[in-house]
Amino acid sequence: MNFFKHSFLVVLFLVAAALSAPAGADFKAGLEAYQRGDYKASFREWNPLAEASNAPAQYNLGILYENGLGVAKDAVKAYRWYVKSARQEYGPAARAVARFRRDRPKTVRKAESQQGQSRVEDRQRAELKRLKEQRLRAKKRAEEGRRQKARRTQRQPAPPGLSGLSVPVPPGWVRGAAGRFMSAEPGDTEDLLGINAEMTLYTPRGETPETWSEMILVGTIRRPAAAPGKLYSGFIGNVEAGCALGEGSQAGTGAPGTIRVFYACAKLKAQDYGLYAEMKAVQGTESLYAVRRVWRGKPFPKDAIARVRKRFGGWDAWFARIGTGPGEGADKVSGGFGFFVSPEGHILTTHAVVKGCKWLRFSSAKAKLLVSDPVKGLALFQVRKKPSHVAAFPEGGGAREGDPVVVAGHLLDGQPGSDLAVSTGVVKALPGAGAGGRFISITAPIQPGTSGAPLLDLTGAVVGVVMAKPEAVQLAGLAGEIPEKIELALGAGVAKEFLSGQGVPFETAATGKALSPSEAGDKARSFTVSVECRK
């Protein structure tokens, strides 16, 4: 300590003699306090100068921290102040940095590691500030848009077929031509409403009249002769005529002027698929609306109809949101998925899923944004509710080329709380350059709105995070190089690195017993949540 004290005093006298600016008085006061042995007063005088980038003051703080004079002894803080001073080409500080690197390499590594984490935290704070400002701008634009829309209401008609009705179209669905789809489905709502009914169709993006698995039909008739209750028997009769085995019922009435019915068809006549359909009829002031949602899939036994009905319980919340309102397009809704990664309620998803959202829900629960990193492409949230199951990552390097994988992240009905569809594929080598080993490519088909879903191997471990192809291509720098049938996912290594950087403990699992794709899908369902984003 005598060596440091002696060299310190020499430097102090040299610096004190060189100072003539007003700030020098503070420096000199610190020197005088040091000579009296009042090291705390020295720290008070020099600390503001050091924070203002005064190189000698920064060096002197390093001496105080290294020797525990007036402050708690802290070699890491001492090294940081030496580095800051040395960057301004202050000779004594440069020699102190060289001494630390030679004699105290562990301290140097610790300081540099903490400095790297500090830079990450600075970027995160900047991103959170940017997201907040973005949400405020979006809110301001939305308010201005509502005011403009109110001014235009009297001169601009609502979209055809949906004037006065609010229908919550699921994320990733598109509007299509109703006639071609209706010809493939038994019982026309149009027949129930009359030949003058206007029909509007929505399906998941990419569905065709030959391959569709789900659709929404909205029928509208002006000045109807029939009340909603009279549609019940017609709906059941129409669908019953096309079913070999089935069961239908009135699901109950809602507000005055509305009615809900459902029908489960175990197998269609002369077809190899089953059907589940529900309809809600709503009486408006000038029109009658019949909103039908239909699912088509593999035939099922008649004794399984009760289980099928329960499977589509998630439709209840969707139908409850239908009613007379501002019309189509009132809600700009997008969505995706996330999954629990810790027992403390941490949810991992992609940055693109939550970007620009002014309102978010995770399977109907509110969550707190912790960080959204556009560089890594990931975001982290936390909910109060503790999950019953969490995802586990593989202990090793993750998926390899040729490994089978499972994606469980496409809502069968597009609504939180409903069942998830499972798709399977294998890992392919990622073409092109620029991905830096962060991505894996897969052949499993990815439905729109599946970004953020977990990618599992057949042991049930999460080997990646599914990304929408446009965002993945942009992050990977592979524009124009991805084949049409290849999808991308962030590898498990990137996800684990991201979680470690946030101090979130996650589970790992050694290679275990191989599961069937449906079993792996069931495992994914236990910790996967849907994300609803309103912009």
Q: What is the pLDDT of residues 129-186, one digit of tens each?
A: 888 888 888 888 888 777 765 554 433 333 333 456 778 888 778 877 666 565 545 4
Same domain, 483 and 464: yes
Mean pLDDT, rounded, for 453-464: 88
Mean pLDDT, rounded, for 244-256: 55
Q: How confident is the model at residue 309 (pLDDT cuts 50, 70, 90)?
A: confident
Domain edge (last residue) among 280, 296, 324? 324
Mean pLDDT taken over the chain: 74
Mean pLDDT, rounded, for 261-278: 78
Point out the least confidently predicted range of 57-71, 141-155, 364-378. Answer: 141-155
Q: What CATH number corresponds to the domain at position 38?
A: 1.25.40.10
Q: How confident is the model at residue 109 (pLDDT cuts 50, 70, 90)?
A: confident
**DSSP-assigned beta bridge partners for residue 511:** none
Give the Cα separation of 321 and 329 in Å (integer): 14
Res 226 pLDDT > 90: no
Q: Which of 20-24, 227-231, 425-429 has the highest mean pLDDT?
A: 425-429
pLDDT for 432 equals 43
Q: How confident is the model at residue 419 (pLDDT cuts 50, 70, 90)?
A: low
The sign one gets for the Cα dihedral 16, 21, 25, 26 is negative
Same domain, 227 and 286: yes
Same domain, 429 and 460: yes
pLDDT for 62 equals 92
Res 260 pLDDT > 80: no
Tell me the whole-structure pTM to 2 decimals.
0.42
Point out the least confidently predicted range of 6-10, 34-38, 202-206, 347-351. Answer: 6-10
Enter the tokens of residue 118: 């500090």
Same domain, 338 and 285: no
Residue the block writes with tokens 């294998």: 426
Query: 418 or 61, which is more confident?
Result: 61
Residue the block writes with tokens 């503070």: 26
Res 431 pLDDT > 80: no
Res 81 pLDDT > 50: yes
Tens-place pLDDT, residues 319-342: 877 765 544 333 455 678 889 999
Domain edge (last residue) among 324, 359, 389? 324
pLDDT for 247 equals 63
Same domain, 343 and 307: no
Give the Cα separation of 387 and 384 in Å (integer): 9
Displacement of CA 76 from its chain's centroid (Å): 37
pLDDT for 493 equals 86
pLDDT for 254 equals 47
DSSP secondary structure letter of residue 271: S
Does a structural domain hold residue 358?
A: yes
Domain edge (last residue) among 280, 306, 324? 324
pLDDT for 343 equals 92
Same domain, 90 and 204: no
The sign one gets for the Cα dihedral 446, 212, 260, 300 is negative
Give the Cα separation of 34 and 69 in Å (integer): 9
Same domain, 363 and 477: yes
DSSP secondary structure letter of residue 170: P
* Domain range for 346: 333-526
Same domain, 513 and 405: yes
pLDDT for 2 equals 46
Angle (nearest 5°) at CA 458 between 453 and 462: 35
